[in-house]
Amino acid sequence: MLKMFGLKKCSTCQKAMGYLDEKRKAYHFSDVKEDELSKDQVAKWSKALGGWEKMINRAGYTWRGLPKAETENLTEAKAVTLALKNPSLIRRPLIEHKDGSVTVGFSEKVRGFIG
| 9 contact partners, CB below 8 Å, separation of at least 6 | none
| Domains in the chain: ranges and CATH | 2-114 (3.40.30.10)
Q: What gap in Å lies between CA 2 and CA 76, rounded to an integer? A: 25
Has residue 22 got a pLDDT over 90? Answer: yes
* 29-48 pLDDT per residue, tens: 999 999 999 999 999 999 99
Phi and psi dihedrals of 75, rounded to 5? Answer: -105, 175
- Residue 25 makes CB contacts below 8 A (sequence gap 6+) with 2, 114, 115
In the chain, the percentage of residues whose pLDDT exceeds 90 is 89
Helix (H), strand (E), coil (C) string for 38-63: CHHHHHHHHHHHCCHHHHECCCCHHH
pLDDT band at 88 (very low <50, low <70, confident <90, very high): very high
